[in-house]
Amino acid sequence: MLRKAHKCYGSVAKSISLRRGYASHPPKARLNIPTDYASTPLLHHSAKSSLANKELSNEARNGTTSRINLFQAVNAALAYALRSDQRVLLFGEDVAFGGVFRCSMNLATEFGDHRVFNTPLSEQGIVGFAAGAAMEGMRPVAEVQFADYVFPAFDQIVNEIAKCRYRAGHNADSMNCGGLVIRMPAGGVGHGGLYHTQSPESLFTHVPGMRVVVPRSPVQAKGLLLGAIASNDPVIFLEPKILYRAAVEHVPAEPYILPLSTAEVLKEGKDVTIISYGTPLYACQSALAAAEKDFKCSVELIDLRTVYPWDRQAVMASVNKTGRCIVVHESMVNAGVGAEVAATVQEGCFLRLEAPVQRVGGWSTHAGLAYEKFNIPDVTRIYDAIRTSLEY
């Protein structure tokens, strides 16, 4: 039951931007205009478009769609998982009443308090508990309320969840965290400030043993989450919170799994490859549309989807084709996912490269509230990176 007062982090009312509040754009801007989610080519605005997705299961492709947002897609995935597999559990802070982002609406009612429940306020407790349940054969979905609060759970994630299969050796099959998914809202939302904006995905890519996934849309969220729950490896699932309400599209009603560690080429091109994941893809789309018009070039856009282990083949194949590469992410440039992609690309495509690999990311600072729009890579910076790459 949606309440009017639930003006959660994702909603940016038009009236607010008219008052030049915290989500406005300059009057003469051509590039730095807020993403129009209702028309972006990255979302499926028709059932036909959605069902044409080659990655869907037959069941899904022959079914219907409903036009839903990202939190509803997550909710649909969770409902299907809980319904089809008794081992699936869902828990975390405030999960029972529906969750602070509505992802668990009606699930406690349908599946009961022993499968969908609130935990006390302790991320280390939630994640450690999830690890133990996973090692006993359950498929727990643990929710951390904001990625900014995952840090107390780092010990459990790095030293236990990532390592238990490995240290169990011959006993690996009886003692691993396959089936464990830790979900958390991440990323900028316009007014989250220091502690409701963080994108810590790269921190998890420097420890082997887990898959780190970032969905860009409702269709992707449903399929990737089901893929994560079905995976035999533990998965960290970061949901871009600004997209919970903003991204709306036709999502197949039937269940389907999207593959982990597989990138997706969203748009083919021949002059520059842009690699990104999550929310910045929308800015990348706007930037490349303007660049293709202004510079008469053709840009290829790739969504990594899983940032570790990531799809090196797809990225190298693309850069070997185009000769130019730009990586875009919200989190700060230093030691971000972009650093790894850039290093790998220069190793593998050195002689093909026409320009240095560029990274457009957050500045090396914290996510200050008043400066968020300057920190997060905007359309202009991405557009300029394309131009620099072409002109090199």
Partner 1 sequence: MDFVVPQNIPPIATYRVMNSQGLIEDESHAPKEVMHEQILEWYKNMLFVNILDAIMSDAQRQGRLSFYMVSTGEEGITVGSAAALEPDDIITCQYRETGVFKQRGFELPDFMSQLVHNKNDPGKGRNMPVHYSGRANTGVHAVASTLGTQIPHAVGAAYAMKVADLEAGKPVSRVAVAYFGDGAASEGDFHGALNVAATRDCPVIFICRNNGFAISTPTSEQYRGDGIASRGLGYGIESLRVDGTDIFAVYEATREARRKALENGGRPILLEMMSYRISHHSTSDDSLAYRTQDEVEPWKTRDNPIARLRLWLQNNDLWNDELEKSTRAQIRADVLREMKSAEKELKPPLSSIWDDVYAVYSGEQLSQRAEMKRMMMKYPDEYDIDEYEGGIEAL
Task: Tell me the catalytic residues.
Answer: 123, 196
The residue (of 14 and 54) whose beta carbon lies closer to partner 1 is: 14
Q: b/e map of 191-227 (b: 16 or more CB within 10 Å)?
A: bbeeebbbbbbbbbbebebbbbbbbbbbbbbbbbbbb
The CB-of-282 to partner 1 minimum distance in angstroms stands at 16
Q: In what order do the strands lie in the sheet with 211-213?
A: 116-118, 88-92, 139-143, 181-186, 235-240, 211-213, 306-308
Phi-psi category of residue 92: left, alpha or beta, with phi > 0 → left and psi -120 to 50 → alpha: left
The CB-of-300 to partner 1 minimum distance in angstroms stands at 24
The residue (of 29 and 52) whose beta carbon lies closer to partner 1 is: 29
The residue (of 123 and 340) whose beta carbon lies closer to partner 1 is: 123
The residue (of 71 and 310) whose beta carbon lies closer to partner 1 is: 71
The residue (of 286 and 306) whose beta carbon lies closer to partner 1 is: 286
CB atoms within 10 A of CB 148: 20
Instruction: Report, in this order, helix, strand and coil percent for the chain, each rounded to 5.
Output: 40, 15, 45
The CB-of-245 to partner 1 minimum distance in angstroms stands at 12
What sections of the chain are H helices per DSSP?
14-18, 47-51, 58-61, 70-84, 107-111, 123-135, 154-155, 164-168, 201-204, 218-230, 243-246, 280-295, 312-322, 337-349, 372-375, 379-391
Scanning the structure block, which residue is given the tokens 């620099």?
Answer: 388
The CB-of-365 to partner 1 minimum distance in angstroms stands at 5
The CB-of-92 to partner 1 minimum distance in angstroms stands at 10
Q: b/e map of 363-375 (b: 16 or more CB within 10 Å)?
A: eeeebeeeebeeb
The residue (of 253 and 335) whose beta carbon lies closer to partner 1 is: 335
The CB-of-126 to partner 1 minimum distance in angstroms stands at 10
CA 382 → CA 59, 333, 355, 366, 389, distances in Å? Answer: 38, 14, 15, 20, 11
**What are the residues whose beta carbons fall under 8 Å from the beta carbon of 288, sequence distance 6 or more?**
267, 269, 272, 274, 299, 301, 382, 386
CB-CB contact of 180 with 128 (8 Å): no
The CB-of-238 to partner 1 minimum distance in angstroms stands at 18
The residue (of 24 and 57) whose beta carbon lies closer to partner 1 is: 24
Q: Which residues bind partner 1 (CB under 8 A)?
A: 1, 3, 5-9, 13, 15-16, 19-22, 24-26, 28-32, 93-94, 96-98, 100, 118, 120-125, 148-149, 152, 190-196, 334, 363-366, 368-371, 374-375, 378-381, 384
